[in-house]
Chain A
Amino acid sequence: MSTMTLAPAREDRAAARPQGRLGQSAGWKTMAKAFGAFALAMIYIPLIWLAVMSFAASPLSGIPYPLTLDNYRQLGGDARWVTPMQTSLWLSALVAFVCMVIATVVGRAITRLERPGGVILLTLLPLFVPGLTMGAALFIFLRSILELKLGIWSIFLGQLVWALPFCMLLVLVIASRFDLRLLEAAEDLGASPWRRFWDIEMPILRPGIFGAGIFGFLLSFNELPRSLFLRGIETTMPIYNWAMAASQQSQIPIIFSLTTLLVAVTLPVMGVFFWFLFVKLDKN
């Protein structure tokens, strides 16, 4: 398919749009779009099904009829999930912010090293350790050896150890494409270190930093294995779901409707956020 469309497409595309250069052929684009559509379908078919079943009388049966709002009524009538949800939201926001700051400050510094390999490997090490093991390791260390009282702070540390390597990688991916000569030029022109960072580095690093924030938030928001060990007696949303899974009462009506609501809220919020990031901010 790619060879067939190659010749006629070349002329006009190449002349019209520089970003079309790579694909003189529409073939690979069709393939790329098909792959993407397939993967997105794999993500969204269960979600759509889940949203439909959240209106079903017995959500696990696979039969959406009869339709009902009972599940949402149950959700509204049950206030126990609200506090864990709030805890998760602000904790994740905090993890995201701290990850953004550390990843930016340290990530930039790492790209200026002559041989960053060792440092990077050390930073990424916790990624390779299974979550439960990392949780157990931190529990033994903080609780059994240092004899500290666990709580939100230890969940925070556990999630930081999990999210930071991802955030660091994102910043590194961008920062390693950064040309240091730009900074030297700015310094020669008398820009202060802050102006050099804010006006020159920041616009280039921005996708990486925002990416770090988003990943930090999401990784923290759904984190369970480490939190399980480090919770003390605190309850986040994933811990709440985990505990309720053993209650021998179906949580599905509540979880399905909560998930549907979560999609309904996050979809527009994230949509506006990314639109702002890509369409509004990205003027160059």
Chain B
Amino acid sequence: MEHDKIGANGLPMSRRGFMESVLSVTALGAAASVLPGLSQQAWAAGLPVKGYGVTTAQPKDWSRVTQSIGIQVDYTPTNADIGVFMRDVMGNDLTSTHDVFIFDGGTEDLLGPEGYYAEIDENHPELKLWARTPDSWKRSSFLRADDKQYAVPVIGNGDAFGYFPAAIDANPNGLDEVPWTTFFEGENVKGRVAIDRSWLQSMAETANYLKHHGRITVEDPADLPAEQARQVADYLVERKRAGQFRTIFTAFEEQVQLLSNKEVAMINCWEPATKEANNALGPNSVIYAFTVEGYYLWGHGACVAAAAMDRGNVDNIYKLLNYFLDGEYRAFQAKERGYAGPNMDLGVQYAIDHGWSKEDIDGLKWAEEKVRRKFQKPFFCKVVPEHADVMEEEWQRFLNA
């Protein structure tokens, strides 16, 4: 289909178009080939890139990537469970077999200096789009450690909460800023608030809220030393006892269900959950908030295993890293999940070139505008906080209270 488009528009054959035709020829050859080993090599130029990471970064189908840049990707999926990820990279020695790791940015704080990840070679010839990628994305702290670049940005968002505008008398167009005060203390949503069981997110958001209103003094809301962690947990226990929370949720499906059943009025969920809920309830029933106090910024980074730099597949690895910065990946991620990332303009261009509907293109533009607006507020996030152990213990106290 994409072939036809390019042909019909009479555009000159792009690099991608060329790769596609080369591929269709080699694919035919591969199908005819009897030797499986041979066909594997013929199918993609060079070795497949082996990836390990979260499913959020996954396109619906990796063959789209193969068609686009001629690289076969062999991806082992995992959950967003930091313990499992750390165990696999450090304990299971995955760097000896896998080339690229994609996880919530922050793992490089530990795995970079420890020598599991290689520094990104910013001048690699295949990393064509690096120079044009804005610093607000590529220099984010969750991609760097010790002033060294360990990751390429993949996707990201500023997380806040979803809400029903009618429940809090807010502007139904969803463009106004809603304070976290409503979430934690609003009488009109009392007993109708759901809070995420992930303490990385919920404790950081609470700490930022308390910090903003001058109720605690803390440098980084996402990394709480023992004393501050205790203060935050105390506050949450008090709110829990006051009956502010209807439930403490875990899974994505729970978020969708809580919203689409209108079981809660506010929830610090992920943005795609509001998208799913609106599919059932009608557009703009649930709003994903712009907030007063700031956002929990997360972003996935693609890191390269240090050992992979000696395995002779570096060009393909960097081709894949470059793909994450390019328009096709950006456009599909924004369309399928509503997530932004660097170089959204390329995504918009891709959508226009490939004849996407006006609605879809407007969606991409809105995703960019939304993130630009959020970037003006304070941010906090750390996947591997230094004080993780005390924070986890304090969070248990909240759960058991």
- A and B touching (C-beta < 8 Å)? yes
- B325 on the A face (CB < 8 A): no
Q: Looking at the complex, which one of A61, A233, A245 makes contact with B79 (CB distance below 8 Å)?
A: A245
Could you tell me if A60 and B257 are in contact, using CB atoms closer than 8 angstroms? yes
Q: Within B13-71, which residues are at the interface with A (CB < 8 Å)?
A: 52, 54-56, 58, 60
Could you tell me if B251 and A245 are in contact, using CB atoms closer than 8 angstroms? yes
Interface size bucket, A side? 20 to 34
Of the candidate stretches A113-121, A211-219, A249-257, the one touching chain B is A249-257
Of the candidate stretches A178-186, A187-195, A236-244, the one touching chain B is A236-244
- Known contacts A61-B280, A249-B336, A251-B253: does B94 contact A233 (CB below 8 Å)? yes
- For the complex formed, measure the closest distance between the CB of A243 and the CB atoms of chain B, giving whole angstroms: 4
How far is B60's CA from A201's CA once the two chains are assembled, in angstroms? 54
- Known contacts A60-B253, A252-B253: does B77 contact A244 (CB below 8 Å)? yes
> For chains A and B in complex, what number of residue pairs have CB atoms within 8 angstroms?
75
- B336 cross-chain contacts in A, Cβ below 8 A: 249
- A249 cross-chain contacts in B, Cβ below 8 A: 252, 272, 336-337
- A10 cross-chain contacts in B, Cβ below 8 A: none
Interface size bucket, B side? 35 or more
- B78 on the A face (CB < 8 A): yes
- A143 on the B face (CB < 8 A): yes
- B349 on the A face (CB < 8 A): no
Contact with B along A152-175 (1 / 0, CB 8 A): 000000000000000000000000
Could you tell me if B77 and A243 are in contact, using CB atoms closer than 8 angstroms? yes
Could you tell me if A248 and B252 are in contact, using CB atoms closer than 8 angstroms? yes
- B261 cross-chain contacts in A, Cβ below 8 A: 60-62
How far is B52's CA from A232's CA once the two chains are assembled, in angstroms? 11
- B92 on the A face (CB < 8 A): yes
Q: Looking at the complex, which one of B55, B58, B260, B272 makes contact with A61 (CB distance below 8 Å)?
A: B260
- Known contacts A247-B56, A247-B58: does B256 contact A60 (CB below 8 Å)? yes
Q: Looking at the complex, which one of A143, A240, A243, A251 makes contact with B92 (CB distance below 8 Å)?
A: A143
Could you tell me if A233 and B76 are in contact, using CB atoms closer than 8 angstroms? yes
Could you tell me if B52 and A233 are in contact, using CB atoms closer than 8 angstroms? yes
Could you tell me if A243 and B78 are in contact, using CB atoms closer than 8 angstroms? yes
Q: Looking at the complex, which one of A139, A143, A244, A250 makes contact with B276 (CB distance below 8 Å)?
A: A250
Q: Within B225-283, which residues are at the interface with A (CB < 8 Å)?
A: 251-253, 256-257, 260-261, 270, 272-273, 276, 279-281
- Cβ-closest 4 pairs across A and B: A247-B55, A58-B280, A243-B77, A246-B80
Q: Which residues of A contact B (CB under 8 A)?
A: 57-58, 60-62, 78, 139, 143-144, 149-150, 228-229, 232-233, 235, 240, 242-252
Contacts A/B (CB < 8 Å), 17 sampled: A57-B280, A60-B257, A62-B261, A143-B92, A144-B91, A149-B93, A233-B76, A233-B98, A243-B55, A244-B55, A245-B251, A245-B252, A246-B56, A246-B80, A246-B81, A247-B252, A251-B253
